[in-house]
């Protein structure tokens, strides 16, 4: 596995960094974390113009036709600004699910809309009894008479309040992996209510309530009762990309710590000369490198359909989730009191570390997957 970037990928890294330096300073992230929507429609339009929203979408459907590694490079740079957008959920997670399960008409309509920035998708998976296995999907979707009727609620759905469209995972048949159906539901559909949830997390989780929502069975993405496998495949492809975002966030937090340690004077010397401060910085660097390397390894394994892809994806989510939290804790040890001052900015990265810890499966969830894949459970 070669972790060197191609000329195209270096160009992606450079163009993203230039735009973010100019238009997305850390102060802008902090503003969006606290405003009503957490969303910048103007920047979203610029991202569409630059092709970033359709980077992983085939050219036949209006995208750029680039690779999962290219997406990872994009998201690693976004992580350096702790950037809050629906990009990952719409242009990676939902896009991959549609590519695997959607009909040709759905791909043409939905994927082109995502690439142009005209449509924002969100995956409505999790419920009040939070989990990312198939057994956690209990909300009913009754398929009969040429329609699908949905009743129930989904919880903790990132950016559902700015989404135009939902992919809703419902139980329409038996238990476990069987009986899962994926249904496209516009957020404007009668009977759909989206409520932002209060709390600390950064990606604007929402409750989505479905009250006798009835859509045509042509809204089913893929086949009724056979939605789990394409759903799982899309999730597994999007996890390593999320891992590179977390690695980018953590690296930025470490860089802030290094800069602070070199410039903060105590007892007449920079605090970076103190061994314990050095230990915290080195711990953060180790976690950042581990998150980055494991995530890119998982991207490579998935992209090349390697037999170890399942293990690599699970490992990268464990390493990135735990490393991001522990690395940000280390950064706060370096900074002391100023680290919790909102205007300083370290807070934005720490907040993301807590937000993304459980998203797409907690470390405990992925340890179970890893144990099963290694045949030790």
DSSP of 225-282: TB-HHHHHHHHHHHHHHHHHHHHHHHHHHHHHHHHHHHH-EETTEEGGGSHHHHHHHH
Residue 360 backbone zone (phi > 0: left; psi -120 to 50: alpha; other: beta) = left
14-18, 32-36, 53-57, range with greatest mean pLDDT: 53-57
Q: List, for residues 286-339, the tens digit of each pLDDT value.
A: 999 999 999 999 999 999 999 999 999 999 999 999 999 999 999 999 999 999
Helix (H, G, I), strand (E, B) or coil at 213: strand
Return the structure tokens found at 257.
């710590």
Yes or no: domain 229-373 corresponds to CATH 1.20.120.1200: no
Q: Which of 142, 169, 165, 173 is nearest to 153 (CA)?
A: 169
Return the structure tokens found at 121.
């998708």
Output 249 or 7, whichever has higher pLDDT. 249
Query: What confidence score (pLDDT) does residue 189 get?
Result: 98
| CA atoms of 34 and 351, how far apart (whole Å) | 12
Task: Assign domain 122-225 to a CATH class.
Answer: mainly beta
Element (H, E) at 76: helix 68-79
What is each CA distance from 38 to 86, 204, 220, 307, in whole angstroms?
10, 7, 30, 39
Q: List, for residues 160-205, the tens digit of each pLDDT value.
A: 999 999 999 999 998 889 999 999 999 999 999 999 998 777 788 9
Nearest 5°: phi and psi at 127?
-125, -175
**Boundaries of every domain in the chain:** 7-119, 122-225, 229-373
Q: Could you tell me what percent of the chain has a pLDDT over 70? A: 99
| CA atoms of 335 and 331, how far apart (whole Å) | 6
Return the structure tokens found at 77.
């740079």
Query: What confidence score (pLDDT) does residue 343 get?
Result: 85
Helix (H, G, I), strand (E, B) or coil at 166: strand
| CA atoms of 232 and 222, how far apart (whole Å) | 13
Query: What confidence score (pLDDT) does residue 56 get?
Result: 97
Q: Structure pTM?
A: 0.96
> Binning pLDDT at 50, 70 and 90, where does residue 228 land?
very high
Task: Assign domain 7-119 to a CATH class.
Answer: mainly alpha
């Amino acid at each position: 596995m070669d972790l060197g970037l191609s000329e195209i990928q270096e160009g992606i890294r450079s163009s993203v960094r230039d735009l973010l330096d100019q238009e997305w300073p850390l102060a802008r992230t902090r503003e969006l974390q606290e405003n009503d929507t957490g969303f910048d429609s103007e920047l979203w339009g610029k991202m569409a113009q630059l092709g970033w929203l359709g980077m992983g979408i085939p050219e036949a459907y209006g995208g750029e036709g680039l690779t999962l590694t290219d997406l990872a490079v994009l998201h690693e740079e976004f992580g350096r600004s702790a950037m809050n957008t629906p990009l990952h959920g719409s242009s990676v997670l939902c896009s991959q699910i549609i590519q695997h399960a959607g009909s040709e008409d759905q791909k043409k309509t939905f994927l082109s809309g995502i690439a142009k920035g005209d449509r924002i998708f969100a995956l409505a998976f999790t419920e009040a009894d939070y989990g990312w296995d198939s057994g956690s999907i209990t909300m009913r979707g009754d398929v009969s008479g040429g329609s699908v009727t949905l009743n129930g609620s989904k919880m903790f759905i990132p950016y559902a309040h700015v989404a135009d469209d939902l992919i809703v995972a419902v139980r329409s048949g038996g238990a476990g992996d069987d009986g899962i159906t994926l249904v496209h539901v516009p957020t404007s559909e009668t009977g759909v209510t989206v409520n932002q949830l209060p709390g600390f997390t950064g990606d604007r989780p929402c409750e989505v309530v479905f009250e006798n929502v009835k859509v045509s069975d042509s809204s089913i993405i893929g086949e009724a009762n056979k939605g789990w496998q394409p759903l799982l495949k899309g999730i597994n492809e999007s996890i390593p990309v999320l891992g590179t975002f977390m690695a980018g966030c953590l690296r930025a937090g470490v860089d802030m710590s290094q800069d602070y340690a070199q410039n903060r004077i105590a007892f007449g010397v920079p605090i970076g000369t103190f061994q314990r401060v050095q230990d915290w910085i080195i711990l953060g660097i180790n976690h950042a490198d581990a998150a980055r390397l494991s995530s890119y390894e998982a991207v490579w394994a998935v992209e090349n359909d390697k037999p170890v892809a399942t293990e690599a994806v699970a490992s990268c989510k464990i390493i990135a989730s735990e490393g991001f939290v522990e690395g940000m804790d280390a950064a706060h040890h370096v900074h002391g009191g100023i680290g919790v001052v909102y205007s300083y900015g370290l807070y934005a990265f720490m907040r993301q570390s807590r937000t993304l810890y459980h998203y797409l499966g907690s470390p405990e969830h992925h340890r179970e997957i890893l144990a099963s894949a290694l045949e030790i459970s």
